[in-house]
Amino acid sequence: MSLEVLGITVLWLFLYGYLIVASIDFGAGFFAFYGKLSKKDHIMNDLISRYLSPVWEVTNVFFVFFFVGLVGFFPDTAYYYGTALLIPGSIALILLAIRGSFYAFGNYGSKNNIFYLFLYGGTGLLIPAALSTALTISEGGYLKKDHDRVIFLVGKLFSSPYSWSVVLLSIVSVLFISAAFLTYYADRAGDVRAREVLRKFALFWSPPTILASFLVFVSLREHNPEHFRQTLQVWWMFGLSLVFFFIASYFIYKKKNYGIAFISVMLQFFTAFFGYGISHLPYILYPFVTIHESVTNETMGTALVVVFIAGLLLLIPSLYLLMRLFLFDADYVQGKK
Amino acid sequence: MTLDHVMLSRMLTSLTLAFHIIFATIGVGIPVMVSIAEFIGIKKNDSHYILLARRWARGFTITVAVGVVTGTCIGLQLSMLWPSFMKVAGQVIALPLFMETFAFFFEAIFLGIYLYTWDRFKNKWLHWLLTIPIMIGSSASALFITTVNAFMNTPQGFELKNGKAVNIDPIAAMLNPATPSKVLHVITSSYMTSALVLAAITAILILKGKRSEYYKKALRLTVAASLIFSIGTALAGDISAKFLAEVQPEKLAAAEWHFETEKDADLILFGTLDEHNQIKNEIRIPKMLSFLAGSSFDTKVIGLDEFPKDEQPPLWIHYMFDLMVSIGSFAIFITFLFLISWKAERFNEWSKPLLWGVAITGPLSMLAIEFGWIYAEVGRQPWILRGYIKVAQAATTGEGVGLTFIMFAILYLVLAILTCVVLIKMFRRKPAETELEQRFQIKAS
């Protein structure tokens, strides 16, 4: 495997990791707020906070990891995305900042403050929309290069069906992934009432997820036919994704095997996300940045890979410990510790 | 001053960093204090110290959250505001940036575990052991990110050809000449400031009439730690000054208003400059600058005259330097005084002036952190990558920096106010006395 392919694979894996953990986190915030509004908070909010408290910081690191790694492996992206994303990126950052700090304010400081919960839950839906802008831009057509300047065509982004379908997909996926996970978590906690509420959320958000995915395909065909053609070459990955989606929905509907259901959700997004990623190559930012031309020099690339492996050797046991203590420890999940 | 892209980008970067370093400093130092308190608590089997560790750790979660989000902001702003810089230097500094994230990841995992396992292990030492990865993670991330800043001051490990970095040696870039002194100074001063902030909070509570054993132990512990860390900071600062004299003389010269290269250079304390750059109203210590720069009174110190006008840093950094050093010296003085009063029977360490002294040193030392950073950053103007790229060439050409500045300014203002409100509420709602009684069945005396 060449350095650039290795690099982009590692980064894509991290982005996928962020997609899953952040979706759980963003969705959970929204459900907690919704629960409070609809007076169901006594049923499920304890459960949500028991899961989120020890892990929210880790979620954030996945994101930092991705963009630091991207700039490291492909420094040209810093130039193009950096210039283009000043406004949308700043908005996403401010939302992330509000969310992270208000989580702490609400959870450790003033418990049950509805305003804090509102900011925390509301931003949970806006952030995926803001962050997905970066993916939309990567399709090309929203940036113009004028000599040494990169110009971001905001109007085009806002009037593009493709960009709106991506936003839609990001929001409904967040709610679906999160509800599927929390249903499983509630089931492990033996909390039947919370499980029933969350299961309904999962079922409710399941059809829109798949509809939004189709919408993205359709609008991609209009926006970037070249990329669309390439997705057809890995059609089987998207087919697998659909199969996993049906498995997940089936189990959730039948009220059994919630663990397998959630793993299926993860696989559903894994196959779709990697199918999308593979068909996007060799472009990182169409048509300005490709993985071959913009990859960092070899010394740095090798150093990054070495550090990456060393880092994983440190992180995997630590993450395992974290999950053992808070995710797979029955007593903790049930609130006895 | 014109508000062009360059100026606005500089303003936004300064704003974010000025806000972030408050939380970053606390983030590096507090875990050490928590670890020390818990260690003493277990060792002496004294619940007071255990409670101290618990309460500090609880408050820490709030500051960590703000530190994490503002750190994410500056991480991305580097690329958004300085894209041309990142395109070139990103190749060379990717390694330490990457390692910093790893260190932070490591810390985040163990901090989560630490906070939620206070009563989960039978063996108390197991819980204390969790503080070690937290301290390693937080100090290591300070170390790695400081190497990046050091690189911007004394770049090495690459060549610049046609605007592209080639022949890159990532390790040499990390271990550049400025790294050792900078890292040492950043870490010691973070420990010092955190200890002093905790000492100040305790001193204020005692001044407000809290007199139980819990507060006394807290103050003695934090002041003792502050003194040790302050002395460490002063030593690290001295090493930094000697380093500057040798490798980055224009920064030291601007800070000291040292215009001409000479032996037997005087040290200028405070003072003012008139329009002809004549120094007025200063306190002049003969030959001291030479001594600071090279440990002997006749060391030759390079002056600003050896640098072209457009490569000289602004002269107002002199005040930043002097304020930083004065506060540092005051911190050593006041903590030393407290410890003498405590150990010598004849004096009273709980006297009001002394407590007030400790109380103001906390916020002052945080100010010193800000002054020190302003001095270090403005001191390498006009360069963003000293000797290679000037700040003016590196700023974004994108639209909307001004708007972004306003948005972030509002964000930080709100976060600053709410952090204080939430922290104060959090500790008022559950006073230490109640917690001592409920958790450890100790009557506050």
Note whether A217 and A206 are within 8 A (CB). Answer: no
Q: Which two tokens stand for residue A206?
A: 């399941």
The reported pTM is 0.87
Tokens 């939620």, located at residue: B116
In order, the DSSP letters of A234-249 are THHHHHHHHHHHHHHH
Rounded Cα distance between B427 and B436, Å, is: 13
Q: Which residues lie closer than 8 Å to B285 by C-beta, 6 or more apart?
A: B266, B267, B269
Beta bridge partner(s), residue B159: B166
Rg value, chain B, Cα = 23
Contact state of B65 with A101 under an 8 Å Cβ cutoff: yes
| Confidence tier at B1 by pLDDT (50, 70, 90) | low
For residue B413, pLDDT beyond 90: yes
A289: enclosing H helix or E strand: strand A289-290
- Nearest-Cα distance to chain A for B191, in Å, is 23
Q: Is the dihedral of CA B420, B423, B427, B430 positive or negative?
A: positive
d(CA A291, CA B228): 51
Neighbours of B277 (CB within 10 A): 10
Residue B390 sits at φ, ψ, to 5 deg, of -90, 155
Q: Do B94 and A296 touch (CB under 8 A)?
A: yes
Q: Across the interface, which of B62, B100, B399 has its CB nearest the CB of A105? A: B62
d(CA B190, CA B365): 10
d(C-alpha B76, C-alpha A82), whole Å? 8
Rounded CA separation B144/B149 (Å): 9
Torsion angle of the four alpha carbons A266, A268, A270, A273, in this order, in degrees rounded to the nearest 10: -130
Q: What is residue B309's predicted lDDT score, i.e. its pLDDT?
A: 84
Residue B157: other Cβ atoms inside 10 A:
19
Whole-number Å distance between alpha carbons of B227 and B238 = 17
* Residue A82 banded pLDDT, cuts 50, 70, 90: confident
Three-state SS at A257: coil
| Residue among A115, A159, A167 nearest A136 (CA) | A167
Residue range B225-236: mean pLDDT, rounded: 94
> Beta-carbon neighbour count of residue B288 at 10 Å?
17
Subunit contact B94:A82, Cβ cutoff 8 A: no
Please choose, from the candidates A92, A118, A94, A93, the residue with its C-alpha nearest in 3D space to the C-alpha of residue A105.
A118
Measured between beta carbons, the chain B residues lying within 8 angstroms of A86 are 80-81, 396, 398-401, 404
Tokens of B152: 């911007």
**pLDDT value, residue A161:** 81
pLDDT reading at B347 higher than 90? no
Residue B273 amino acid letter: L
Instruction: Please give the radius of gyration of chain A, using alpha carbons only, rounded to the nearest integer.
Output: 20
How near does any CA of chain B get to the CA of A66, in Å? 10
Average pLDDT of every residue of chain B:
87
pLDDT band at residue B254, thresholds of 50, 70 and 90? confident
Position A111 pLDDT exceeds 70:
no
Task: Decide if A165 contacts A211 (C-beta within 8 A).
Answer: no
Contact call for B408 and A90, based on CB within 8 A: yes
Give the 3-state secondary structure of residue A254. coil
Please report residues of B whose CB lies closer than 8 A to that of A104: 61-62, 64-66
Minimal Cβ distance to B411: which of A80, A86, A97: A97
Choose among B183, A190, B123, B107: nearest CA to B115: B107
Closest CA to B324 of B195, B200, B185: B185
Query: Phi/psi at B242 (nearest 5 deg)?
Result: -65, -40
Of B73, B169, B397, the CB nearest to A299: B169
Q: Is A148 exposed, middle or buried (0-12, 13-18, 19+ CB in 10 A)?
A: exposed
Rounded percentage of chain B residues whose pLDDT exceeds 70: 99
A57 vs B contacts (CB less than 8 Å): 64-65, 68, 108, 111-112
pLDDT 10s digits, B92-117: 888 898 889 888 888 888 888 898 88
Whose CA is closest to B155, among B238, B236, B96?
Answer: B96
Pairwise CB contact (< 8 Å): B94 & A84: no
pLDDT tens profile B28-71 = 999 999 999 999 999 998 888 999 999 999 899 889 889 988 99
Residues facing A152 on adjacent strands: A143
Domain boundaries, chain A: 3-334
Give me chain A's average pLDDT, please: 82
Quick one: which of B238, B134, B254, B247 has its CA closest to B189? Answer: B238
Binding-face residues of B in 51-90 toward A, CB within 8 A: 58, 61-62, 64-66, 68-73, 75-77, 79-84, 86-88, 90
pLDDT at residue A134 above 60? yes
Taking CB atoms and an 8 Å limit, are B398 and A152 in contact across chains? yes
Burial B289-301 (b: 16+ CB within 10 A, else e): bbbbbbeeeebeb
End-to-end CA, chain B: 59
Using the Cβ of A73 and the Cβ atoms of chain B, whether some distance falls under 8 Å is answered with: yes
Q: Which residues contact residue B389 at a Cβ distance below 8 angstroms, ignoring those fewer than 6 apart?
A: B84, B85, B88, B89, B383
This model of the complex carries an ipTM of: 0.83
DSSP state of A168: H
Under the banding of pLDDT at 50, 70 and 90, the label for residue B194 is very high
Question: What are the structural domain ranges in chain B?
Answer: 5-261+302-441
User: How, if at all, do strands A289-290 and A283-285 pair?
Assistant: antiparallel
Q: Look up residue A93 and give its DSSP letter.
A: H
Looking at residue B409, its pLDDT comes to 95
**Per residue in A176-217, pLDDT tens?**
888 888 888 888 887 888 788 888 888 888 888 888 888 888
Average pLDDT over residues A22-29: 87
Tokens for B44, please give them. Answer: 């002496």
SS (H, E, C) chain B: CCCCHHHHHHHHHHHHHHHHHHHHHHHHHHHHHHHHHHHHHHHHCCHHHHHHHHHHHHHHHHHHHHHHHHHHHHHHHHHHHCHHHHHHHHHHHHHHHHHHHHHHHHHHHHHHHHHCCCCCCCCHHHHHHCHHHHHHHHHHHHHHHHHHHHHHHCCCCCEEECCEEECCCHHHHHCCCCHHHHHHHHHHHHHHHHHHHHHHHHHHHHHCCCCCHHHHHHHHHHHHHHHHHHHHHHHHHHHHHHHHHHHCHHHHHHHHCCCCCECCCCEEECCEECCCCCEECCEEECCHHHHHHHCCCCCCECCHHHCCHHHCCCCCHHHHHHHHHHHHHHHHHHHHHHHHHHHCCCCCCCCHHHHHHHHHHHHHHHHHHHHHHHHHHHCCCCEEECCCEEHHHHCCCCCCHHHHHHHHHHHHHHHHHHHHHHHHHHHHHCCHHHHHHHHHCCCCC
A-B contacts (CB, under 8 Å): 222
Q: What is the pLDDT of residue B445?
A: 55
Residue-wise pLDDT tens digits, B370-398 = 999 999 999 888 888 777 777 887 777 77
Q: Contact, B191 vs B232, CB < 8 A?
A: yes
For residue A160, which phi and psi values (nearest 5 degrees)?
-95, 125
Residue B277 amino acid letter: N
* pLDDT band for position A1 (cuts 50, 70, 90): low
Tokens 């360059």, located at residue: B6
Residue keyed to tokens 């030393």:
B336
A84 three-class SS: helix
Q: What is the pLDDT of residues A296-310, one digit of tens each?
A: 778 888 888 888 888
β-strand partners of A144: A151
Task: Check CB contact under 8 Å for B411 and A94.
Answer: yes
Please, are residues A201 and A179 in contact by the beta-carbon 8 Å criterion? yes
Q: Which tokens hold the place of B129?
A: 């052991």
